[in-house]
Structure 1
Amino acid sequence: MDEIWTRPYSPGPGRWLIIAWEAAALGFLAWVAVREFELAGHSVRFVAGTLAAIWVIGAHRILQMGAYVGATGLRIHGLLRSRTMPWRDIAHVRLHKATHRVGPWQIESGLTVLIDRHDGSTVNTELWAQGIDFHSRPRLFRAVYQELRSRHQAAQNPS
C-alpha cells in the first residue's frame, strides 16, 4: 500500500507571484529569441511550446515544494529533486540560524529547519522562516517545526 504524504501547512500566496514572474521571464526570453534569431512559423511555435512546457513543469514543482510527513518518514520536495527519509534514519530535527558571508560581513537570513541523519549528514529542508510560505506567518513556521519534531519523536518512541 502506498504511503499517504501530507504537507502540514498550506503554501503561501508568494508561490503564485513566483510562478507569474517566471511566466513573464520566459515570455520575455521567447520574445528575445524570436527577434534575435529572426524566427518565423514553426520555429516560433517550437520555441513558445518548449518554454511553455518548461514553465508548466516548473510551476508544478514550485507548487509541490516543501516538507511532507507520513507514518514512516519525511519527504522533502525541492525544485529539482525529492528525497524521502524514514524516521528511523533521522537523528534530529532542528532549527538553524542561517548566515551568509559577503566579504568581511555576515548577513543573517533567518531560521531554517535542518534534518540531521544518523549517518552524520545534514539535509536542508525547504522550510525557511523568511521564505514565501512563512514570511508573514511566523507562528505557522514554529508550528510546522514542532509538528516535524513531534512526528520524529513519536516514531522513535512507539507506544
Structure 2
Amino acid sequence: MLVYDPLDKTVRAWFHAEIEGPCFVVTITSLETGESNRAALLDCAYTLYRYLLFAKGVEIKQIQMMCPPSVSGRSHWVLEDLVSVTIVEGLESPDSAVMYRTSESMYKIGELDLRKKKRSRIIYSAQHLQDYDSKPNPQRLAPGPLQLYGPMQ
C-alpha cells in the first residue's frame, strides 16, 4: 500500500494501514494499462470531492463508504455503496454537519441540529459519478519514470 505522508511530503510503502474514521473506497480501472484490480482509499468527503475533480486516467467503477462502529452504530465496520454527501451549515449558529447517504443508511457527523434553519450543499451524488471525466491525462501517458502525486495543499 502506498501512503502519502503530508508531514515529510513523501510516499511510503506499507504492508497495512490503520483507519480510525469513515473513509471511501473508490474502485478504479487504469485507462493506461487496463488494470482493474485497483482502488483508491480516501479519508474524507473533501478528499473524495477533490479526487473526482483532479484524478485523470482512471475509470471509476464504484464508490463505497467504510464506516466504523462509532458512526454506524453497529458492532462491526460496514462497507456500503455511497449515494450522496451533503454539507449542512446552520444559518443562526456556527454549527455544521456532514450527511452521508449510503445504499443502506444515512449517517450524520457534526453538531448541527437539523431541525433549525440551515443551508446545504451537495458535494457528491450519483450524478457526480456519471459526470466524471475519465479522459487520460496526456502528461501521465508520456513515457518515462512513474511519478506519484500527493494531495494538493
TM-score by length of 2: 0.21
- Between structures 1 and 2, the one with greater strand share: 2
- Between structures 1 and 2, the one with greater helix share: 1
TM-score by length of 1: 0.20
Computing the radius of gyration over CA atoms, which structure comes out larger, 1 or 2?
1
